[in-house]
Structure 1
Amino acid sequence: MQDKQQAAFSRRNFLRAFGGASTTAVAAVALNPTEALAYDPGKEEDRARYQETDHIKAYYSVNRYPKHK
């Protein structure tokens, strides 16, 4: 009986320590924010990609979108 109680207590102590350590780690990360870095898309993503071709115009007319340009 003594061994079972000691095993139960040691498991409980482990779980308490693990729970406390994880809570402390989360709090440390939350209290020490870092600056966000801006995303630079580069020259390739700056150019316009949308082109209103014939099949796009057909899609708009089939789905009854208002006329564009």
Structure 2
Amino acid sequence: MSTAQPDEDADRVTPDALLHTRTGTEVTPEDVVLAAGRDVTPESLEWARRKIAAEGAAALDKLLP
């Protein structure tokens, strides 16, 4: 158990290399649309399909912290 005080932890920043959002499953167009904050519509799903085709799974990683 850590003995760090809450104030000490507040000054730390999690390194980007430790921030992962995917669970190892396939990225779906719906995932990308929702991560972008868009409504799920035929147009936004097509946008997401093109984004996934161009960027692969990184399309989702780029939208999330």
Higher relative contact order (CA 8 A, sep 6+): 2
TM-score bucket of the superposed structures, by smaller chain: under 0.3
Q: Which has the larger radius of gyration?
A: 1
Q: TM-score, normalised by structure 2?
A: 0.22
Q: TM-score, normalised by structure 1?
A: 0.22
